[in-house]
Each structure stands twice: as C-alpha cells, then as structure tokens.
Amino acid sequence: MRLLDKYILKAFVGPFLFGVFAFTSIFIGTGTLFRIAQYITEYGAPLLLVMKAFVLALPSIVILTFPMSVLLASLMTFSRLSSTSEIVVMRAGGLSFLRLAMPVYIIALIISIGAVAFNEFVVPRTNHMYQSIVREEIMKNASPQTQDHIVLKTMNGDDLGTLMYAKHYNSETKELSMITVQQFGEGGKLQQVENADSAVWNGQYWVMHNGIIYDISAGNGVERTMRFKEQSLPIKSAPKDIQQDQRKPEELTIKELRHQISAYKAAYTNANKLEMEMYQRFTIPLASFVFALVGAPLGLQKQRSSSSIGFGISILIIFIYYGVMTFAGALGKGGALPTVLAALIPDTLGIIAGLYLNWRVSK
C-alpha cells in the first residue's frame, strides 16, 4: 500500500503544480497586469518599483489557486488511473475507492491547513507592503480629504490597550467625528468606554468634545458615568499617521480583524463585511479539501478521457462554488444571513456533494 500511495501522490503532484501556475496566470492576466500597467502609464511609476509591487501581489493570488489546483489534480489523477484501467486492477485486488483516494484527501487537508497559516502569516503582510508602495511611492499619498471608519489602537505587550473608532475623519480640518474609545486593563479586560461627538488635533494631541465616560472597572455590573466638555484622546497618532495606520481588511491578520470588529460593534456600526473576511480566512483554504472530495470520484467517470475535459469540468465546478460563495457572502454582508453561516454554506454544500459522490462510486 505504501507503493500505491506514493504512486497516486506522484500522479497528483504534477497536475497540482500545473494548476497553480495555470490559474495564477489567469488571475494575473485578467486583473493584476492591468493595474500594473496603469501605475506606469497614469502615475509614471519606475519599472523596478512596479515589479516589486507585482511580486508582493502574488501571494494573495496564489492562495486562491490552491483549491482550484487541488480540484484539477484530483480529477486528472483519477481520470488517468481510470482511463488506463489501473483503478480497475487496484479495486479488483480488494482495495476500496476510499482507501485509494485517502492519500489525496490527506494531502488536500494538509494543503488546506497550510493555506490557513499562509493566509494568516504571509498574505496580510505582503498585501500591506503592496498597498504601502501603491499609496506612498506610486500615488504619492494622494488621498481623499475625508475618510470613513477610522480605527486606531495601542498595545500593552501582546494585549490590547486602547481601541478607538471614529466614523469620519476630515484631513483638512484635522477632525474626527462620532468617536468611541475602549480602554482595556490587564488580560485585555474592558475597563472603560468613552463616547464623544468629535476630536480635534491641537498641534500636540487630540481633544475630544462633548462626550461621556462609562467606567466599568469595578465589575459586578457596577457602572459609573461622567460627562465632559473636553477630554484628551488616549491615542497618540498624529494626523499624518492616520492614513498610514488604516488598513484594508485583506491587510489584517485574524487577530487584527477581531480588534476591528470589536471597535465597529462598540460604536454600533455594521461589521458584517469584516466578519465575512475573518470567517473566509478559514473557509476558502478549506475548499482545497472539499474540492478533493468532489474531484476524486468525478475523475472515475468513463467519459474523462482527456485532460482538456478535466480542466473544463474543473472550471465549471469552480464557477459554481465561487458563484455560491459570492451570493452567500452578499447575503451575509447584507445581514440576511448570519455571517458565519453565510461563510460556511459553500463548503457545506461541497462536502455534502463530495460525500454523496464518494458513496456512489464506492458501491
């Protein structure tokens, strides 16, 4: 069995690597190259800087191709074994389909786990470096005068110290509006919440105006409140730092996304988009395992006689999966479905279909 496992895995690796390169090329050709060319033609960015931005954009593309490549590799591996009747000989020797497919399922699960780690430790950093190059070196910090949903924070070691949310920021007047500040004690326990109508930069620090403080540090449901006309904001970021501190969801780690969600919810602001991003950090990589469950039994169908047919079927399944993911994601972001349920729907449907197909070919 060890020889058979190695044989099947060897047949799987080639199509998987081909899929990574093929699907990455498709993504690059349909979007990334256009943006890169735009940076050169519209902003006059130097070629070396543009190439650096191109390399930094690759991890966020490659991570999307893993599930597609696993699907293609699973289809082509078992299609080849079926077309050469090798699968017939193996099953005639008393081996079940599930046992034959087990090495593919295990490697697909390993790819899924590795993709979650890659999506957490590599992709957000490269996305942030890419966006920093675009904002600061290509677009020369060209930014709108007003920004929405500003989140700033301070850390006490590994624990969150202060978390501030402002609904609007006007860079011309250096004013934050509709502010909520959460202050945390040891162990990340919430101690105090401050709300204010606005905060203005006085040249040295931010001054909040017309607000209220909720002190809950006593615990046991005890809450003390105090109103104020002016109060210094416990955030030291200067106006010039605010733009640099703001990151898009794809630039944040899961821990940072949780902080953002906490800030949004404290200000009673819709955080569904951020929640969907956080949950999809797990569900999209898991699609590699889901696609293996679907692709392996489909590869046994007699009509799978060429790699082009396998590639075409892969495209069809990918289109269906990402169509369902987009539709469910829209429902989750719009509040029609709980975000965790919306994120799980594509993988759940894929697992059900995969288990059914495995049961059918195992009979």
Q: What percent of the chain has pLDDT over 90?
A: 66
CA distance 266 to 167: 12
Q: What sign does the dihedral 104-110-116-122 (CA atoms) show?
A: negative
d(CA 28, CA 164): 37
pLDDT, tens digit, 9 for 90 and up, residues 77-102: 998 888 888 888 888 888 899 999 99
| pLDDT at residue 120 in the model | 94
Q: How many CB atoms lie within 10 A of CB 60?
A: 19
| Confidence (pLDDT) at 286 | 96
Q: Treating both helix axes as pointing N-terminal to C-terminal, what angle do 97-121 and 47-83 enclose, rounded to 10 degrees?
A: 170
Give the fold, CATH level 3, of 146-268.
lipopolysaccharide transport protein A fold (2.60.450)
3-state secondary structure of 191: strand
Q: What is the pLDDT of residues 179-232, one digit of tens each?
A: 999 999 888 889 999 999 999 999 899 999 999 999 988 777 778 899 999 999
**pLDDT value at residue 262:** 93
Q: pLDDT tens-digit profile of 302-351? A: 654 555 676 778 889 999 999 999 999 999 999 999 999 999 999 999 99
Percent of the chain with pLDDT over 70: 96
Q: Cβ distance 124 to 251 under 8 Å?
A: yes
Closest CA to 188 of 94, 115, 262, 124: 262
**pLDDT recorded at residue 308:** 63
Res 230: pLDDT: 94
Token pair 């040249």 is found at 203
Over range 266-283, report the average pLDDT.
Answer: 94
Residue 20 confidence (pLDDT)? 96
**How far apart are the C-alpha atoms of 68 and 73, rounded to whole Å?**
9
Residue 58, burial from CB neighbour count under 10 angstroms (0-12, 13-18, 19+)? middle
Closest CA to 319 of 5, 8, 26: 26
Q: Which helix (H) or strand (E) holds 197?
A: strand 190-201
The pair of structure tokens assigned to 161 is: 């110290």
* Structure letter (DSSP) for residue 188: G
What are phi and psi for residue 72, nearest 5 degrees?
Answer: -60, -45
Q: Give the chain's radius of gyration (CA, Å).
A: 26
Residues 283-302 have pLDDT tens digits of 999 999 999 999 999 988 66
Lowest mean pLDDT among 2-16, 253-267, 292-306, 333-347: 292-306
Q: Are 232 and 208 in contact (CB under 8 A)?
A: yes
Residue ranges matching CATH 2.60.450 in the chain? 146-268
